[in-house]
Amino acid sequence: MNYQVGEQGRVVVVRFEDDDKILEGLQEIAKKENIRAGVIFVLGGIKQGRFVVGPEKDDEMPPKPMWRDITESNEMVASGTVFWQGDEPKIHLHCAFGKRDDVKMGCLREDTKTFLVLEAIIMEIRNVNAVREYDPSKKLSLLKL
């Protein structure tokens, strides 16, 4: 285990409108505001997206992701992080999605669109030098301290 101690910096409050791209929007804000490290909280509606629900086989390296699609409106609650990989902020967001009695959970990865309205809070972490770095053995961008 490795860790660093930082300080809370700025807090950004975001309102996404219907059809706004969620992951791209969070990434755009992190880049524009130069948020190098942070925690993200999200709640609201999502109507489109692709997420990963885990590896196909336990303990398989590198893990082969199991993809799922969101193709209709769902409630969503999420928490995640933002750290930079090279010249770009990388968003890592784990979400729970629900509609009626159907609830799913996974790591939101691509093709995301807001349903009606979605709120996000980005809390900046200052004075840490954490980054994302691609690990070829796991085929994932992982946190490096």
Is the residue at 129 inside a domain?
yes
**Rounded distance between C-alpha atoms, residue 125 and residue 31, angstroms:** 14
- What confidence category does residue 60 fall into, taking pLDDT thresholds of 50, 70 and 90? confident
Is residue 29 assigned to a domain? yes
Q: Is 84 part of any domain?
A: yes
CATH (domain of 117):
3.30.1330.80
Quick check: is 65 in a domain?
A: yes
Q: Which two tokens stand for residue 7?
A: 């300080």
Is the pLDDT reported for residue 111 higher than 90? yes
Residue 70 lies in a domain: yes
Domain membership flag for residue 40: yes
Within its chain, how far is the Cα of 134 from the centroid?
16
Tokens encoding 84: 């930079």
Number of domains in the chain: 1
Mean predicted confidence (pLDDT) in 62-75? 96
- The pLDDT of residue 128: 97
Let me know if residue 6 belongs to a domain. Answer: no
38-60 burial, b for 16+ CB within 10 Å, e for fewer? Answer: bebebbbbbbbbebbeeeeeeee
What pLDDT does 72 receive?
A: 98
Q: Tokens standing for 101?
A: 């009695």
Residue partners of 94: CB distance under 8 A and separation at least 6: 78, 79, 80, 105, 106, 107, 108
Structural domain boundaries enclosing 47 = 11-144
| pLDDT at residue 58 in the model | 84
Task: Print the SS3 string covering 46-109.
Answer: EEEEEEEEEECCCCCCCCCEEEEEECCCEEEEEEEEEEEECCEEEEEEEEEEEECCEEEEEEEE
Distance CA 138, CA 119 (A): 32
Question: Is 56 within the bounds of a domain?
Answer: yes
